[in-house]
Amino acid sequence: MQRYDATTALIVVDVQNDFADPRGSLAVDGGARIVPFVNEQVRAAHDGGGFVVYSQDWHPEHTPHFAQDGGTWPVHCVQDTWGAALHEGLTVNGPVVRKGSNGEDGYSAFTMREPMTGETTPTELESLLRDRTVRTVVVCGLATDYCVKATALDAVRLGFATSVLADGVRSVDLQPGDGDVALADMEEAGVTVVHEWDDGRLHHEQEL
């Protein structure tokens, strides 16, 4: 089990209906299956005196991020809709950082990117962590090959010791194996990928 203390933050990335629920517009295969594991981590973090923070895609109805407006993705996580809501089974016990609210690409929980100019702006996440003298971040959520990866890479860039919990992520896998490639890219950048064992087998190898 991942260990937490007062200098550690658990970042729960985008466990929202449109990603985690099979009915969601951009449902990740197996996304709902991570929720019990994430909830265990939330409890462990609070029990250890750690900080828990959640990110939430929060898009307007029209944004260059969406295919209907020239972007890549189907409409998802539109503000104040069922799809944007955090999954009903998720334990929410900490602040929520919303991203993409003004039409930006909101992959990382730390930064947003203006899709037309490429200009990046920070979310409030880094300041929340600095205010609590956090030095280590643990990342889980959806999806491995996009928002989890972007969040973890930003965390390393900002100087946090960073881990990703393989049992607490799932991939979009637009191309087969994208999730595994993302984990390898994160490790190369200095992220520790933590595998939890069960009866001698890795959950990640069984289910991702």
Concerning whether 47 is annotated as a catalytic residue, the answer is no
Concerning whether 147 is annotated as a catalytic residue, the answer is yes
Which residue among 99, 149, 154, 173 is the active-site one? Answer: 99
The answer to whether residues 149 and 173 touch, using CB atoms and an 8 Å cutoff, is no
Which residue among 77, 147, 154, 173 is the active-site one? Answer: 147
Concerning whether 14 is annotated as a catalytic residue, the answer is yes
- Contact residues for 109 (Cβ-Cβ < 8 A; gap 6+): 11, 13, 53, 55, 97, 99, 123, 125, 147, 151, 154
- Give the integer Cα–Cα distance in Å for 103 and 165: 29
Q: Which residues are part of the catalytic machinery? A: 14, 99, 147
